[in-house]
Amino acid sequence: VRFPEDLEDDNTTFNPEYSHQVFGDDEVAFGYKGLKILLYYIAGNLSTFFRIEYTSKVNEKFDCVEADDVESKIREIIPPGFCTNTDDFVSLLEKEVNFKPFGMLLHTYSIHNEEAGEDITYQIYKADMTCPGFREYHERLQTFLMWFIETASFIDVDDERWNYFLVFEKYNKDGATLFATVGYMTVYNYYVYPDKTRPRVSQMLVLPPFQGEGHGAQLLETVHRYYMSSPTVLDITAEDPSENYVKLRDFVLVKLCQDLLCFSPVKLMQGFSQEMVTEAQQKLKINKQHTRRVYEILRLRATNMGDAEQSRSYRLDVKRRLIGPYKKKQRELAKMRRCLRPEEMTNQLNQIDLNMQREQLEESFQQLVSDYRRVLERLAQA
């Protein structure tokens, strides 16, 4: 909510992707007809207004059943101090002009908005719990995790190893410059013996009204650049990354790596090298596993897939990496079968496994190439 009229504007509304973390696996609130759970947030400081509407509700006295206590379920997530009536919320909205982003400004960028017909400015800040008012703001911000990240949980903010990176949009209201929350990322700094740290991305969320505009890539690249400048950082990883995060990371890391000398077309065609691992790790804080993916994406760009020899060479190179887990599984199965079955049956079953393995390998390769092509298409448009 930026203006009072936004309260009645359905265009500013967005719905949760997940509600099972609050309402159970069936995502059901029992005992209501026409139930609406309404949560409004002021765009900048995220002051909250919560109300429930319904046309009718079961009554224990007459229906012999009790409706779910929806309000208490929501109260478990949103911090105390929220508004319960419109007038209080609108009066808080008038004070929004005093809200300023927390922490240190790291990056400013613009994105052209077709609807507004103008460039909109965004800023990325790094904050921590020593910033006045940030702890309370973060309590409100993290409530979005429950609705938009699967298996989300709140973090221990008293642990000083957490870093917070926030994205804000700058907008004008009555001639004043205000800030709206766009998204954020939390990063935990793990200790690596003897004197290094390994930052691990824990949570990353861009709010639904801003998704698909490139903010995730801007945020991840800014965070990488922030840690790249630190001599004590070993490399940057992510905790249980989603499929979408992996695609985003591929794009950002390829964008960062493409100008390194070790990834020149000539060197790419010579195969994956220790030089790539060392340079990507030392200059960009990228680990070996992620560097390998960057190499495969950039080599695909340098390869003429219409040329039979180049195409075959690329396919074999990628499949040699992909086959590793299959070979390990094959060795484990062989050990088991030697104990459980006669020799002739082992050979037959191994042959069946081998055929299935080839099919799965080809399927994995084609899916990978499809994902890589999308990264390269996005890179060409960047």
Cα–Cα distance, 196 to 193 (Å, whole number): 6
Which pLDDT does position 342 carry in this prediction? 60
Q: Check if CATH label 3.40.630.30 holds for domain 100-301.
A: yes
- CA end-to-end span of the chain: 31
Tokens of 373: 């092509």
Q: Which of 17, 27, 71, 239 is catalytic?
A: 239
Which pLDDT does position 290 carry in this prediction? 97
Nearby residues of 239 by Cβ (< 8 Å), 6 or more positions away: 188, 200, 201, 202
Which pLDDT does position 245 carry in this prediction? 95
Half-sphere CA count of 35, side-chain side, radius 13 A: 14
CATH architecture of 4-96: Alpha-Beta Complex (3.90)
Instruction: Give residue for tokens 């990322």.
Output: 185
Alpha helices in 182-232 (DSSP H): 215-228
Cβ atoms 69, 101 nearer than 8 A: no
Which pLDDT does position 5 carry in this prediction? 94
Tokens of 47: 């002051």
Nearby residues of 55 by Cβ (< 8 Å), 6 or more positions away: 33, 34
213 is known as an active-site residue: no
- In eight-state DSSP terms, residue 165 is E
User: pLDDT by residue for the chain (382 residues), tens digit each?
Assistant: 999 999 999 888 999 999 998 999 999 999 999 999 999 999 999 999 999 999 999 986 667 788 999 999 999 999 999 999 999 999 999 999 999 999 999 999 999 988 878 999 999 999 999 999 999 999 999 999 999 998 888 999 999 999 999 999 999 998 999 999 999 999 999 999 999 999 999 999 999 999 999 999 999 999 999 999 999 999 999 998 999 999 999 999 999 999 999 999 999 999 999 999 999 999 999 999 999 999 999 999 999 999 999 999 999 999 999 987 666 666 666 666 666 556 554 554 555 566 777 888 899 999 999 999 999 999 999 8
Tokens of 253: 């890391």
Which pLDDT does position 329 carry in this prediction? 61
The SS3 assignment for 50 reads: strand
Which pLDDT does position 325 carry in this prediction? 66
Question: In angstroms, how far is CA 85 from the centroid of its own chain?
Answer: 34
Tokens of 30: 């029992």
| Reported pTM | 0.90
